[in-house]
Amino acid sequence: MAVRLDLLLALWGEPWGPLPDAIAGEPIQAISTDSRGDLKGALFVPLVGERFDGHRFLEPALAQAAAAVVERDRLEPAAVQALAERLGRPIWPVGDTLLAYQQLAGLWRQALAAPVVAVTGSAGKTTTRELIRAALAPLGPVVASSGNDNNDIGVPLTLSKAGESTAALVVEMGMRGLGEIDRLSRCAQPDLAVITNIGTAHIGRLGSREAIAQAKCEITAALRADGLVVIPAGDPLLERALAAVWSGRVRRVALADELAGFDSSLPPADLIGTLEGPGDGVVAGPGADPVASACNQPRLRLQDGNVLQLPLEGRHNARNLLLAVAVAEELGVRRQALHALEVAVPGGRSRRLRIGGIEVLDETYNASPEAMLAALELLADTATDVTPTPDGGSAPPHRRYAVLGTMLELGDQSLALHRQVAVRARELGLDGLVIVAPGDEGDAMLAGAAGLARLVRVDTPAEATEPLADWLAPGDLLLLKASRGVALEQLLPLLAAALA
């Protein structure tokens, strides 16, 4: 992979410093924002943030790099020109190095032969991204977003990691307001776009689900005219928002047992899966008979009879798997290659831990109301061991507890949505709930969950340790879920110490 210098001349004009005619057509071999990395043959892009300014490292970076861009208002022009002349490197002055970084990534993407899949949604973006990565593995090396690389810096970074051997790219796109995904789409220029759902995450910033749907559908801004959008079927809000900006191909997916509740005036699903196995979409708990587990592992049966094992727990992840199947099929992967995907998701998402005989569903990374409700359904449905009794019978199923924390950026709807989540916890009959939420949100959750046999509200993750240590016994299930700002993962080592 490379970006030719003549393209940079067309993009930004003449640089400061030398650019001999003889090298005008030579390629840039890499794009880097990290002055500490290997910059040989690279174009260095010093980014600026609240607490950092890459321009401070321009001179040592240019000792290795082939060229650089700088923000013209951040450095003394004469000094930069003198540096460029002394080191024999071209330096382009621009108004905004972040915009320049995205423009470079766009040029890099245009040189790629590999298809680009863009993924967004209110919940499940990262999980769906990883399912798509796994589903595309039969094509060859797949480059995908990692960690939180789903923003103005992360998307170009992901694109820049692709090369000539890359078979496909999977680019996650997040947002906190209108216009952000539009910008990311124009950078990535996707061949396929996936929208996992339209929920209430960031509704405090956007004001309504309609605005959220509009923002998510910006993913089509630079989608190829012959590209494909993959969405869940049955959402009138998403359908209206998408129709307003996209007239090309759309593929819709759904679980079979949900079809009866769909509005018949909406376009039908064309990829349908039927859940089979224990709990209709959840994995049997530890200690289950291995032979029985192999036979009863939850599965997703497609209309043509192909059966896929669910690599991640929960009905919501069964829908996400269908989205991944639709993408894989569009890019030529046969269904037979998808029957047993191996998926690894980042920490704090869809992760099971064993702590002191307690099975912990670790969902601490982040939370929206929709994701919180899905996690509660997973907790309620998860199969657990049934302990034999001396007389040959069995003890009652093990108990289910949850620690739920504040969900952020919900604006005027925050109290109602927190109460809704707590009401659902009560309706599911959890054996106990610890609420980690100070202020009005905590009051709303406490009111919604009123009636649970064990109900405690605390202000910090550490304070949840005491009631949990009193309640939990070996074999119990515990769900941990809250927004990232709550830092609920701090409870894990404290709980391990308390249960040791």
pTM of the model: 0.84
| Residue 268: both structure tokens together | 């039908």
Contact 207, 241 (CB under 8 A): no
Beta strand 42-44 with 67-71 is: parallel
Contact 324, 339 (CB under 8 A): no
Instruction: Determine phi and psi for 309, rounding to 5 degrees.
Output: -75, 145
- The residues, ordered by sequence, that sit 6+ positions from 212 with a Cβ below 8 Å of its Cβ are 122, 198, 199, 200, 201, 202, 203, 206
Residues in the chain: 500
Which secondary-structure segment (H or E) carries 54? none
Domains belonging to the chain, first-starting first, are 3-94 (3.40.1390.10), 112-338 (3.40.1190.10), 351-499 (3.90.190.20)
pLDDT per residue, tens digit, the chain (500 aa), is 567 777 888 889 889 888 755 445 566 788 889 998 888 888 999 999 888 899 999 999 998 998 899 999 899 999 999 999 998 889 999 999 999 999 989 988 998 999 999 999 998 899 999 999 999 999 999 999 998 899 999 999 999 899 889 999 999 999 988 999 999 999 999 999 999 999 888 788 888 999 999 999 999 999 999 999 999 999 999 999 999 999 999 999 999 999 988 998 999 999 999 998 754 444 433 333 333 334 457 899 999 999 999 998 888 899 999 999 999 999 999 999 999 898 887 777 778 889 988 999 998 988 889 889 989 998 988 755 444 445 555 555 689 999 999 998 898 899 999 999 999 999 999 999 999 999 999 999 999 999 999 999 999 999 999 999 999 999 899 999 999 899 999 999 999 999 88
| Residue 336: both structure tokens together | 């037979």
Tell me which residue has tokens 């949604």: 121
pLDDT score at 26: 60
Instruction: Determine phi and psi for 62, rounding to 5 degrees.
Output: -70, -15
pLDDT score at 40: 87
- The residues, ordered by sequence, that sit 6+ positions from 397 with a Cβ below 8 Å of its Cβ are 384, 386
Which secondary-structure segment (H or E) carries 274? strand 271-276
Tell me which residue has tokens 């069964």: 318
pLDDT score at 400: 94
pLDDT score at 443: 95
Closest by CA to 192, choosing from 146, 139, 148, is 139
| Residue 324: both structure tokens together | 């991944």
pLDDT score at 287: 36
Helices of type H across 401-484: 414-427, 439-448, 465-471
Structure letter (DSSP) for residue 211: H
pLDDT score at 178: 92
Closest by CA to 212, choosing from 172, 243, 180, 178, is 178
| Residue 285: both structure tokens together | 């708990």
Report the distance separating Cα 179 and Cα 66, nearest Å.
33
